Structure 1
């Protein structure tokens, strides 16, 4: 069920991304164009040069464009209805006509480019490309008339410029969105492969435990059986030998019980989901038992994060603490973990001998290159601060989603 919903959610996310770029551009253009038209009317024609009804057409026209943008902002990400697309485009054309006949500057003719720009988010921009070529050809044929500076030709120039500009903007946004979707698809595949790898690892571990049960536990039970048979055989002949065989059988039984308990524990660990907080508590406790004092703090709930990400983070923290034990010569370490809705932030510090971070890649110092490699797999990043005889600070940031 969840896997079936993932492509739909990604499609919605993609549409929201398109709109998040389109809406500010459209709103900015409409406001600037309205200001430019009003300013040109005042400068070149005067306020009284056009009637009140013309001012109403201009003002209400731009207000209508903004309202239509808001409607599409709400409706478009959910589902780009074809009939609604035709209706809104038709309304825009009608509004454009009333603005065009109401304002005398000719600048309003550039709105036609904006209308085609909005249409490019519902249809393939390549469909609009032939129209662009026709406009460019017509401009090439009449370019000598532009220098006559007639209102008609200036308006024609505005139309051409807006058409080309908005077309290119729409194409760039669509291409960028397609690239994001392709990248997200690759990330989803990597997550799928990672999950399969974890499952395969668990299956291999179960197979190993099964072989161990056959080899060790089976051998011990055979030994118990032999010792008991020997005890029965020597019971009447040599009581001491019989008791010794019973003791050996009892010892073999205890060993078998310990082996069985350890096997059950291993099975439970590999069958269960990664419990980051519980696992880290055990890791920290082991480090403390080895003699390194650890100031540990964990906040937040990581249950919504992918299991592969949590497993990777656990391995990274375990490796970092092990590196401190082995190389830092520290008496105190600090581990702070903060889990939020979008990312996990980890801060690991020690009061050890420190090192030169610039030599990290050259010398593989502190074993942190392995940490960096693991982080790259899950889209994380790290920052290292270290000073000789002061200590080292390692800051790790892990996103919930590998992309975006």
Structure 2
């Protein structure tokens, strides 16, 4: 439980005032006059105002020094009120700039020298040395405390800014995943719903097949959304109970079949020797292919798509092309969008490179090269979305 700063100041003031009272009661034993009512009032003025030292440091410092001067002028024991002014000056040094601190240090030194001058039997050499040494030491401690406080505030501000950036990045990540999960399946559902409506009365088997595809695509979309929500509920912990495994290369054939059912002919070629890959690498390949085929569905109706997945030494290569027959070359996806941004972000995350754009021979192409080294896997290959 955090203690309120005013309570802390009150405890410090109480302890310091108690010391002053104990010293005051010892004045007669030390050969000084016993304190009377006026002296006790000046002791109170030289100590109790430190309760408000953090709220008005300069005012409190001047007040307690003035009370000390009045107390010393009476010929009472100067040591009684030594702690209040030192604490007040330390507070000025810890909260106020150098110019203000220097003025208060000079005032404190002057008060101490004045006390030495009006006190019989004082060693002025010792008094002057103390009037310089104590303010310098207190100034140094106060300056250190101020720098520490400034650094603490700066660190808190940086942490808050970092937290804001992380929240923004997390929102972007969630938006990208929602786009990847929803856009592909909704594109398939949209195409199939249009087909079913068109042939509903004339070709019942085709309509039934379209409805089956809609059911399958919507079921897969719900399953992926449940998995993603499960990961979010578990704060990104892999293997969350409701999450399930992230999609991987073993599901590429299902995705391609789903796009074919949506009316886009897709040729899938896998070259090289298949081997186990880190989950994150598989997820990256899967999502990039999903987005590329979704773009064909949405922006290149009637086009023929080709997919080539190549297992190479130390890397994977994915190429998705379409012939774009009858498609306007200035089609929307060439201007970029959330999907293309998501592709580039995924490739960057796993140290890969991606080239996206129209092909010289016509159509559109996506080429992703993704390293599969152990170093890349360690960069964040958790497979979690």
Q: TM-score range, shorter-chain basis?
A: 0.3 to 0.5
Larger radius of gyration: 2
Normalising by structure 1, report the TM-score.
Answer: 0.44
Normalising by structure 2, report the TM-score.
Answer: 0.46
